[in-house]
Structure formats: C-alpha cells, structure tokens
C-alpha cells in the first residue's frame, strides 16, 4: 500500500526526487561507476523535454519495477529503461522498447550489458 502511495506522489512531483525503494540497497554503490559512463552525449538526451515527457508516460503506465515484479517484489520504478539498448539498435522513442525499472535493477541490467557488449 505504501508503495502505491509513493508511486502516486512520485508522479505528482514529476518523479525527480521520489523516496528510495527500500530493497536491494547494497547495489546502490554501482551508481557512481555507471553515472560516469552516462555522461557527455547521453546527458543532452536524458535532459531533453521530449525524453522527460516520454519517461513520465512510461513510469505512469509502469509504476512498478518490471524485474522486481517478476521476482514477486513490489518496488517503485524510477527509471524508464530501454529494453533493447539504443546503442544496440533499440528504438529510442518507442514506448514499446521502454520499461519501468528501479535503480537497482537498472544498474544490474546496465552492468550485464556492458560486460556482454563492451
Ligand atoms: Zn527492481
């Protein structure tokens, strides 16, 4: 119940500073490494108005983390993730190529992708 209330609040507030999900916290230390990889080119894209609108739509349609949900966990999605990475040919602006993930699951997915494709 609390998670659902959190999801509503996050949407009202634009989801920029929602409360952190309580599960899988130890994985947050992956953030620093990966934020470095996401700088320069990606900054412009992820700060664009078009992306912000699309991201909001994705998280509104998918307020819960898809990966956590598959594991039976209820976690607030904070990141609109490209299911197939754009750099691997995934569609940038297609809502069909986007899913809601929590930070932990997004970090795990990004980490796996960089190990496979780099
Ligand atoms: Zn998750």
Question: How confident is the model over 8-27, as pLDDT tens digits?
Answer: 444 444 445 555 555 554 44
Residues above pLDDT 70, as percent of the chain: 64
Residues with CB under 5 A from ligand 1 (ion): 65, 67-68, 75, 102, 105
Q: Report the separation in Å between the CA atom of 72 and the middle of ligand 1, taken as the mean of its atom positions.
A: 10
Q: Report the separation in Å between the CA atom of 105 and the middle of ligand 1, taken as the mean of its atom positions.
A: 4
Q: Rounded distance, CA 109 to CA 111, Å? A: 5
Residues of the chain with pLDDT under 50: 1-2, 5-15, 25-39
Going by C-alpha positions, the residue among 58, 64, 71 that lies closest to residue 97 is: 58
pLDDT of residue 39: 47
Tokens of 45: 């894209």
Q: Report the separation in Å between the CA atom of 7 and the middle of ligand 1, taken as the mean of its atom positions.
A: 14
* Extents of the domains making up the chain: 2-15+42-117
Tokens of 118: 């780099």
Q: Report the separation in Å between the CA atom of 48 and the middle of ligand 1, taken as the mean of its atom positions.
A: 25
Q: Report the separation in Å between the CA atom of 40 and the middle of ligand 1, taken as the mean of its atom positions.
A: 26
Q: Report the separation in Å between the CA atom of 23 and the middle of ligand 1, taken as the mean of its atom positions.
A: 9
């Amino acid at each position: 119940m609390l998670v659902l209330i959190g999801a509503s609040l996050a949407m009202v507030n634009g989801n920029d500073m929602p409360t952190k999900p309580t599960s899988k916290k130890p994985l947050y230390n992956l953030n620093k490494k990966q934020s470095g990889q996401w700088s320069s080119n990606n900054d412009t894209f992820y700060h664009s108005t078009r992306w912000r609108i699309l991201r909001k739509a994705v998280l509104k349609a998918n307020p819960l983390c898809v990966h956590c949900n598959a594991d039976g966990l209820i976690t607030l999605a904070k990141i609109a993730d490209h299911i197939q990475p754009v750099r691997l040919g995934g569609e940038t602006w297609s809502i069909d190529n986007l899913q809601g993930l929590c930070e932990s699951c997004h970090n795990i997915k990004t980490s796996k992708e960089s190990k496979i494709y780099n």
